[in-house]
Amino acid sequence: MRRFWLLFSQSVTVLLAAYFVVATLKPEWIGRGAQVAGRSVSFVEAPTVPTTPTGPPPPGSLRQAAQRASAAVVSINTMKAPDRNAHANDPWFRFFFGEQGGEPVAGLGSGVIITPDGYILTNNHVVEGADEIEVVLNDSRKTRGKVIGTDPDTDLAILKITLDRLPVITLGNSDGLQVGDQVLAIGNPFGVGQTVTAGIVSALGRNQLGINTFENFIQTDAAINPGNSGGALVDTNGHLMGINTAIYSRSGGSMGIGFAIPANTARQVLEGIAKEGVVKRGWIGVEPADLSPELMATFGVRAKSGVLITGVLQNGPAAQAGIKPGDVITQVGEKGIANVSELLTYVAALKPGQPAKFHVQRRDDGMDLTVTPGLRPRARPAQRR
């Protein structure tokens, strides 16, 4: 009898152990629910969400914007020959100092395909001085890139590649951006591969940063790091709003303050380079200065805002229109002027030879003058050693 009792208890123990294992690992084998402390608990399963690109994204997802824009964002690898010492061919120099030839300098950046025939927008500093340019598409295709034109004043450059079936980004209207709008930054930071980061528009019209001659930056907290330069800043529709250009950083990494060149500025540069090979900007021939108590006292200025003209080029466009030293320009066209950077930017946007209205404050009198801007002289390139 004892033997049968032991066999029975062992069998029950094995069956209970098997039951608990199945209930834990495969509850569907014994029903949709499980017993917890004598109560029936039903598991609620999440609905299946399609994982294909055409499936609806979850609420708040920026997936569609990233998918629309990412295909047109490329990586740009550059190679620059090392600087050669002027005495490298001197045998005595080589005897004492050895061979001084260095390794080629590699560079990394990003770009955006903007036309089906292969025009790419990027930063001038990404390709400046490069001897070789390799463009890598998001689908892993590689090709050589050719510089069509550059605009150092805005730090933009246009490249050209020759490939078929090129994805193209849609250019948006950057003037419609507002602080707080969601944006995505797409590029190849640190060479790790294409990366998408999200943030908002933190500020608009940032200038006086000392980065470019003409500054009208979009500021964003979307993470931008080395290698993102030339990449895309897009809105929630995947439309291009800016070209990522620079970051404010004490460590070299993102600190939540990045700057992008507005897409509307990039469009003007593209059109100028594509049509005429250069960007033509307006120029009026004045020496401007921000208002300060000292200058206001010196020139007897009573205006509370605007830009003081301290000098006027003889026979220049401004002089011919009647602008004089001591005048304060408060408005160009319909745009108010607050500082020298804004005056420089708005005048540069004028078409040479096309008259424009300037509002000027001369002591107590305000007046409208018609100025016909000339062609802004191109800056003489700095000598490189």
Residue 33 lies in a domain: no
The reply to whether 106 and 145 lie within a common domain is yes
Residues 148 and 213 in one domain: no
Tell which of 160, 193, 216 closes a domain: 160
Q: Which of 151, 153, 155, 327 is catalytic?
A: 155
Catalytic status, residue 40:
no
User: What is the distance of C-alpha 35 from the center of its chain?
Assistant: 57
> Is residue 21 included in any domain, yes or no?
no
Residues 201 and 270 in one domain: yes
Give the whole-angstrom CA distance, residue 171 versus residue 341.
26
Instruction: Indicate if 178 and 251 belong to the same structural domain.
Output: yes
- 254 and 186 within one domain: yes
Q: What's the predicted TM-score (pTM) here? A: 0.71
CATH number for the domain harbouring residue 198: 2.40.10.10
CA dist 342 and 332 (Å) reads 10
Q: Match 């933190």 to its residue by tokens.
A: 202
> Nearest 5°: phi and psi at 346?
-70, -40
Q: Are 214 and 207 in contact (CB under 8 A)?
A: no
Is 101 a member of any domain?
yes
Rounded Cα–Cα distance for residues 234 and 85 (Å): 44
Residue 147 identity: V
Other Cβ atoms less than 10 A from the Cβ of 384: the count is: 7
Over its length of 385 residues, how does the chain's per-residue pLDDT go in tens digits? 666 666 667 776 767 667 666 666 566 555 544 444 444 444 445 555 555 555 677 777 889 999 999 999 999 999 887 765 555 566 655 545 555 556 667 889 999 999 999 999 999 999 998 899 999 999 999 999 999 999 888 899 999 999 999 999 999 999 899 999 999 999 999 888 899 999 999 999 887 777 777 788 999 999 988 889 999 999 999 999 999 998 877 666 777 889 999 999 899 888 888 887 788 889 999 999 988 888 888 888 878 889 999 999 999 999 999 999 999 999 998 888 888 888 988 898 888 999 999 999 988 888 899 999 998 886 544 433 3
Residues 335, 362: one domain?
Answer: yes
Instruction: Determine the structural domain holding residue 267 and report its residue range.
Output: 170-276
> Of all residues in the chain, what percent are helix, strand and coil, respectively (each to 5)?
25, 35, 45
Is 35 a domain residue?
Answer: no
CATH number, residue 288: 2.30.42.10
> Among 75, 174, 202, 229, which one carries the catalytic annotation?
229
Closest C-alpha among 53, 61, 28 to residue 42: 28
- Picking from 160, 192, 207, the residue at the C-terminal end of a domain is 160
Say whether 229 is catalytic: yes
Four-CA torsion 317, 323, 326, 332, nearest 10 degrees? -80
> Which pLDDT does position 53 carry in this prediction?
54
Q: Domain check: are 70 and 105 in the same one?
A: yes
Instruction: Check: CB of residue 274 under 8 Å from CB of residue 266.
Output: no
| Residue 42 located in a structural domain | no
Which residues, 6+ apart, have CB-to-CB distance to 56 below 8 Å?
A: 49, 50
Domain membership of residue 55 (yes or no) is: no
Beta-carbon contacts of 315 under 8 Å, excluding residues fewer than 6 positions away, are: none
Based on the fold, state whether residues 185 and 144 are members of the same structural domain: no
b/e code 17-35 from CB counts within 10 Å (16+ = b): eeeeeeeeeeeeeeeeeee
Catalytic residue among 70, 75, 125, 327: 125
132 shares its domain with 209? no
pLDDT the model gives residue 118 = 93
Q: Render the burial of 50-62: b for 16+ CB within 10 Å, e for the rest.
A: eeeeeeeeeeeeb
Q: How many distinct structural domains can be found in the chain?
A: 3
SS3 (DSSP) at 125: helix
- Cα(15)–Cα(31) distance, integer angstroms: 17
Residues facing 308 on adjacent strands = 289, 328
Mark whether 365 is an active-site residue. no
Amino acid 40: pLDDT: 46
- DSSP H/E element including 5: helix 2-25
| Domain membership flag for residue 199 | yes
- Judgement on whether residues 290 and 371 belong to the same structural domain of the protein: yes
Residues 248 and 217: their CA atoms lie apart, in Å, by 13
Q: How far apart are CA 61 and CA 346, in angstroms?
A: 38
Residue ending a domain, choose from 231, 250, 276 = 276
* Residues 149, 88 share a domain: yes
* Residues 20, 330: Cα–Cα separation, whole Å: 82
H or E element in which residue 37 lies: none
Give a yes or no: residue 384 inside a domain.
no
Judgement on whether residues 288 and 272 belong to the same structural domain of the protein: no
